[in-house]
Amino acid sequence: MNYMTGSIVVLSIFNKFKVGKVIDKAPGIGGLIYSIKTEDGRIYDDVYINDSSSSIFINSSITKSFLKSQQSGDNKK
């Protein structure tokens, strides 16, 4: 999965989920590294996708479900 700047993602932060936006991305050794700004205004740097060895990572399956539910909700208005 490759997220663009401005994409909405769900972060796993110490086994809790937070919604945020991609504010930057750069190539890294293990793939792309992202900077994410969460809804509470915190910025998390050096975030990988699905890196469960880290305490902070983008959970792509939860992100996909979240975005799908957001789209479904928009269609019901």
- pLDDT mean by block of 10 residues, the chain; 77 residues: 94 96 94 96 96 95 94 67
Residue 1 lies in a domain: no
Residue 66 lies in a domain: yes
Residue 2 lies in a domain: no
- State which residues form the domain around 43: 8-75
Question: CA–CA separation, 15 vs 20, rounded Å?
Answer: 15
Residue 3 lies in a domain: no
Structural domains counted in the chain? 1
Residue 38 lies in a domain: yes
Q: H/E element holding 73? A: helix 60-75
What is the value of pTM for the model shown?
A: 0.89
Residue 22 lies in a domain: yes
